[in-house]
């Protein structure tokens, strides 16, 4: 029987989000219905509400979530009812050209549920990132459910579903930060903060946090930054060079998504160093760099999609490290809120007051 549940939707461009009743179908072949326990509020949800992603309103928002599998459709082998899962937006297909070459972390044909969730009048919803988890229950492809240790707090575990994984992965997967490396992270919100934490996990010797907000720099220190630079008052390129013997950092993670901060990252890295762009730019942004500098400085200029994570490999491992007290994922949960407070959470995010507000159900 299709079920009626409470959920947060964005009905029209720019309009405040609203709590309403939606219809969740029974899972079809390859699908699962998940009872959501927690879902973080991410910038991307706000982008959907503002019409910045596409025009397919109404959107069912929310995508950084953890919960319990309630029911599964025909042919599902990955999970069974009762499993504690983190939802992901990279259910790898196993067959696209990336998967066939053994690079499933880049899968170009990821899965979502085939059936649509709807409003009571039958209007089809577009779930954010194919998830839609500001809801008591949601319908996803079974491959979007990654089983992790149920001892983890859902409010913490769910954050691996997007921003925190993006930041951790930008450092450990894309940037390949290793023992003894120097790392600089530009922009220390939820994503950049996670890049700081990931760099510490990977054994970086020097971790330089850069932000324009002192509150973020203080948090970065608790996450493992060894030095901080407020780039509103100090030239970050000079400061990073000074802190690295005049050379620049081995890896610089850009977690803002702007041309000026990308340029800072480009010039703040050592010769043959790596820049990782994990911040997401907007369509009108362009970048101009002397081509000779691109050549002459060598190294690697990389982008990090979802931290180049492979959910089945990375989520259980990171949750285990967290449960062992070796990875403070709890530091990202600034506040827990109800489904009815998502609009206020957007405002707090906009003011820079939070790393993550997490809806708990
Ligand atoms: N690549 C991915 O898969 C992926 C996934 C999730 C989010 N993101 C992107 O990562 C970026 C960061 O997300 P977030 O959730 O951490 O956002 P956030 O708002 O929490 O953090 C952004 C941080 O950047 C700082 N900042 C802003 N302008 C700056 C500047 N000029 N110099 C230095 N610092 C500056 C802010 O003070 C803030 O601390 C966004 O662009 C987001 O869309 C990417
Ligand atoms: Zn694939
Ligand atoms: Zn997100």
184, 189, 357: residue to mutate for ligand 1 pocket, most atoms within 8 A of CB: 189
pLDDT (tens place) for every residue of the chain, 361 residues total: 999 999 999 999 989 999 999 999 999 999 999 999 999 999 999 999 999 889 999 999 999 999 999 999 999 999 999 999 999 999 999 999 999 999 999 999 999 999 999 999 999 999 999 999 999 999 999 999 999 999 999 999 999 999 999 999 999 999 999 999 999 999 999 999 999 999 999 999 999 999 999 999 999 999 999 999 999 999 999 999 999 999 999 999 999 999 999 999 999 999 999 999 999 998 899 999 999 999 999 999 999 999 999 999 999 999 999 999 999 999 999 999 999 999 999 999 999 999 999 999 9
Ion ligand 3: residue ranges with CB closer than 5 A: 42, 44, 162
Query: For strand 206-211 and strand 182-186, is the pairing parallel, antiparallel, or unpaired?
Result: parallel
Q: Whose CA is nearest to atom 8 of ligand 1?
A: 279
Can you tell me whether residue 293 is helix, strand or coil?
helix
Distance 128 CA to ligand 3 centre (A): 9
Contact call for residues 358 and 38 (beta carbons, < 8 A): yes
Distance 165 CA to ligand 1 centre (A): 13
191, 254, 260: residue to mutate for ligand 1 pocket, most atoms within 8 A of CB: 191
**Tokens representing residue 156 in the block:** 């913490």
Calculate the dihedral angle through the C-alpha atoms of 127, 128, 134, 139, rounding to the nearest 10 degrees.
Answer: 40
Q: Dihedral of CA 132/138/139/142: which sign?
A: positive
Distance 270 CA to ligand 1 centre (A): 23
Query: With a 6 A CB cut-off, is 94 part of the ligand 1 pocket?
Result: no
* pTM, entire model: 0.96
Query: With a 6 A CB cut-off, is 211 part of the ligand 1 pocket?
Result: yes
């Amino acid at each position: 029987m299709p079920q009626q549940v409470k959920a947060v939707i964005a009905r029209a461009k720019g309009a405040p989000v609203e709590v309403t009743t939606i219809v969740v179908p029974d899972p079809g072949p390859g699908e699962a219905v998940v009872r959501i326990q927690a879902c973080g509020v991410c910038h991307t949800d706000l982008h959907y509400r503002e019409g910045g992603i596409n025009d397919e309103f109404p959107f069912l928002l929310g995508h950084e979530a953890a919960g319990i599998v309630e029911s599964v459709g025909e042919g599902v082998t990955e999970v069974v009812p009762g499993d504690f899962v983190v939802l992901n937006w990279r259910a790898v297909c196993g067959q696209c050209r990336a998967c066939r070459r053994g690079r499933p972390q880049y899968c170009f044909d990821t899965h979502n549920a085939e059936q649509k969730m709807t409003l009571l009048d039958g209007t089809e919803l577009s779930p954010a990132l194919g998830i839609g988890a500001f809801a008591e229950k949601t319908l996803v492809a079974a491959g979007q459910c990654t089983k992790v240790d149920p001892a983890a707090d859902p409010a913490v575990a769910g954050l691996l579903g997007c921003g925190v994984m993006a930041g951790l992965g930008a450092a450990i997967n894309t940037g390949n930060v290793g023992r003894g490396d120097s790392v600089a992270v530009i922009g220390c919100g939820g994503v950049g903060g996670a890049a700081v934490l990931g760099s510490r996990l990977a054994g970086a010797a020097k971790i330089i946090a850069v932000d324009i907000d002192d509150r973020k720099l203080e948090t970065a220190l608790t996450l493992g930054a060894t030095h901080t630079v407020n780039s509103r008052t100090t030239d970050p390129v000079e400061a990073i060079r000074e802190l690295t013997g005049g050379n620049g950092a081995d890896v610089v993670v850009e977690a803002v998504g702007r041309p000026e901060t990308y340029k800072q990252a480009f010039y703040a890295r050592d010769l043959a160093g790596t820049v990782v762009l994990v911040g997401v730019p907007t369509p009108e942004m362009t970048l101009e760099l002397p081509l000779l500098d691109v050549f002459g400085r060598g190294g690697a200029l990389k982008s990090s999609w979802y931290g180049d994570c492979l959910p089945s490999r990375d989520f259980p491992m990171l949750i285990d490290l967290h449960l062992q007290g070796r990875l403070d994922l709890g530091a990202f949960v600034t506040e827990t809120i109800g489904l009815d407070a998502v609009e206020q959470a957007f405002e707090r995010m906009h003011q820079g007051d939070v790393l993550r507000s997490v809806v708990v159900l």
